Structure 1
Amino acid sequence: MPHRFPVREIALQAGVSEATVDRVLHGRPGVRPGTVLQVEQAIAELDAQRTQLRLSGRRFMLDVVMETPQRFSALTRRSLEAELPALRPAVFRARYRVAERWALPDLIAELDGIARRGSHGVLLKAPDVPEVAEAIGRLARARIPVVTFVTDVPASLRLAYVGLDNRAAGATAAYLLARLMHGRSGSVLAMTSGSDFRGESEREAGFAATLARIDPDRPIVEIVSDGLDETARRRTAAALAAHDDLAAVYSIGGGNRGLLAAFDAAGRECAAFVAHDLTPDDVELLEAGRISVVLHHDLRADLRDAARALMGFHGALPEFRPRPASVAVVTPYNLPAR
């Protein structure tokens, strides 16, 4: 009978003696048919549990490197720390290297430092620029896998991407705004954090293409911020001064309190507002009716997929390649439990 487990483990699982297991494995007589079935069942159970056995005692160090507003890095940290206990019997520890604004040389130096120090993997939210792709390549050559998070660097040696299907999310935003603004004129403000972040560029492209198809007469005013409230307020105020028909917002990169403050200061109504991510600020604004809908996906599921991909790379699990997540539309009436 083929098997891959010590006789002692099989005997313990089956609740019989090691001698009995030995007789069954070698097809010797003198064992009741029911006992043979017990031993066969024990081997099947051990085989089904081999992943847990393989993970037992495995420890992984994960480096989380992100350029992102503090509200999103805090949300990511809470989500990751809530998810890590569910990965047992493997044990994950995380080191966080995050900044709201990160000079590119400093970001590259951080990634190269991880390559020198060693790590079991890097969870990375960073711009899609050649320098970052090259740093990912150096990590890959050091046998340190990189999983890009929320925004991708596809022309790199990254192991996998976890996060939204961003183009589909942008198309969903266009669909929602077209319906929310039905029968009402006015242009839409689309604000990103910059073209270097591929995830936001894909959202914007999906939004523009879909709105042009389903609501072709509605203009889009595109502006770039940095995801921070004060910058978003200033850029939105300038856009409102230049466009007297701005009546709706698709906030791709955040800074939503600043966006709304600019509308309030100008005495203008924001008739429809689509945002991303259930940060505490956005939940409060959604409940207050200042944001119409939030496009959301399960960060914990993303982070769980990232951990599975890293464990697969290190041979602790079968190889795993995550797929981009679908977007969920959240209103004040279907907020996920907090």
Structure 2
Amino acid sequence: MAHVFLVKDIAFQAGLSTATVDRVLNGRPGVRRQTELRVRAAIAELEKQQTEVAAGGRTIAIDIVMETPERFSTTVRAAFEAEVATFLPTVFRCRFHFAEVMKPAEIVQLLDRIRLRGTKAVVLKAPDVPEIDAAVSRLEEAGIPVVTLVTDLPNSARIAYAGADNRAAGETAAYLIGERFAGAPGRVLVTLSSGRFRGEEEREIGFRRVIRERYPEIGITEISEGHGTDAATGILAARAIAADETIDAVYSIGGGNRAVLAAFEAAGRPIRAFVAHDLDADNRALLKAGKIGFVLHHDLRSDARTAFRAVMSRGVSGRIAPTSLSAVEIITPYNMPAAT
């Protein structure tokens, strides 16, 4: 496997040990196919970064760390890579560290490794728990600013939040579903990937407030800890549907929408209203097919722009740029923006 990079750099990019990377590079036995693909992907990413650096101008290397389903991380990667071109001649070199499920201790370990290795900044989507706040403080003390992405850590030392007003998004979802019910009773299945994410909690709070105040005839059943993956979310949804025959609508905060729809179909249950978040590939297809009614969307490129500007401002006499929340759009099959 030809390359010009240090084994330690490939290992860091791939999230593997140097010994494992060495085995892959030298074709030794006992290496899983998935591991080999991770090493190849890491080398390809490093080659891309090297090309960007060669383009000239000021280079700012940042690390983007996210616990999120792959369908969303793919969308985030595309947004950041597209926005990089708008900051030329400054070149943002983005190192991506994504996983669908990470324990807080694993995120802390990764953040500490990044701090020791060195970086200009960290963009972070992570649970709002004390140990991660502490890791953010260590980064700040080391002179490495942190920008939170789509879900905030308001009690941490982060310098900015890049994302939407999640509480307003939840209130919007309640309005869309409540008006669809038109005063009739019903029950909404609210799905969270995990209760540890502040952004999802804010969406749920906004949703519950509006339902309670404006649509008291509508009940709420919550499921959580499916981590946005189809397998786990589908099991939780099926159990909830089986336990309550009045559930006839969905507010999907955390994803796994194909699995939720499959659970309703398997139970032979109609869905009166379905509101989801994020215009990823899955939701585009489901919206186009009429499987879901609305997608609450905000421009991830705007979030990337906010993150880049915050990092650049921090580099100028330590100033922090004021940030604005991304606008939330209601997307239907008839106003879906083109994929980027």
User: What TM-score results when the alignment is normalised by the length of structure 2?
Assistant: 0.81
Equivalent-residue separation in structure 2 for 1:187 and 1:132 (angstroms): 35
Cα deviation, residue 166, structure 1:
0.3
Query: Could you say which residue in structure 2 is the equivalent of 1:72?
Result: 72
Equivalent-residue separation in structure 2 for 1:113 and 1:256 (angstroms): 34
Could you say what secondary structure the match of 2:216 adopts? coil
Could you say what secondary structure the match of 1:219 adopts? strand
Q: Is the 8 A contact 1:311 1:317 kept in 2?
A: no
1:304-329: CA deviations, max 9, x gaps? 11000000001199741212222110
Could you say what secondary structure the match of 1:244 adopts? coil
Equivalent-residue separation in structure 1 for 2:205 and 2:106 (angstroms): 30
Query: Could you say which residue in structure 1 is the equivalent of 2:164?
Result: 164
Deviates more, 1:244-253 or 1:178-187: 178-187
User: What TM-score results when the alignment is normalised by the length of structure 1?
Assistant: 0.82
Q: Is the 8 A contact 1:188 1:221 kept in 2?
A: yes
Q: Does 1:281 align with 2:265?
A: no
Q: Is the 8 A contact 2:299 2:327 kept in 1?
A: no
CA RMSD in angstroms comes to: 1.3
Q: Is the 8 A contact 2:275 2:294 kept in 1?
A: yes
Cα deviation, residue 111, structure 1:
0.2
| 1:84 to 1:111, Cα distance in 2 relative to 1, 3 A | same
Query: Could you say which residue in structure 2 is the equivalent of 1:303?
Result: 304
Equivalent-residue separation in structure 2 for 1:135 and 1:72 (angstroms): 24
Query: Could you say which residue in structure 2 is the equivalent of 1:290?
Result: 291
Query: Could you say which residue in structure 2 is the equivalent of 1:107?
Result: 107
Cα deviation, residue 118, structure 1:
1.0
1:1-338 to structure 2, matched below 5 A, reads 57-224=57-224, 225-315=226-316, 319-338=320-339
Equivalent-residue separation in structure 2 for 1:264 and 1:285 (angstroms): 14
- Paired residue type of 2:70: Q
- Paired residue type of 1:287: K
Deviates more, 1:147-156 or 1:221-230: 221-230
Could you say what secondary structure the match of 1:269 adopts? coil
Could you say what secondary structure the match of 1:114 adopts? helix
Kindly, what percent of the aligned residue pairs are identical? 49
Query: What are the ranges of 5 or more consecutive residues in structure 2 without an aligned counterpart?
Result: 1-55
Equivalent-residue separation in structure 1 for 2:108 and 2:291 (angstroms): 39
Could you say what secondary structure the match of 2:218 adopts? coil
Could you say what secondary structure the match of 2:309 adopts? helix
Q: Is the 8 A contact 2:184 2:217 kept in 1?
A: no
1:280-312: CA deviations, max 9, x gaps? 000000011111000000000110110000000
Runs of 4+ in 1 over 6 A off after TM superposition: none
Q: Is the 8 A contact 1:308 1:317 kept in 2?
A: no
Total equivalences in the alignment: 283
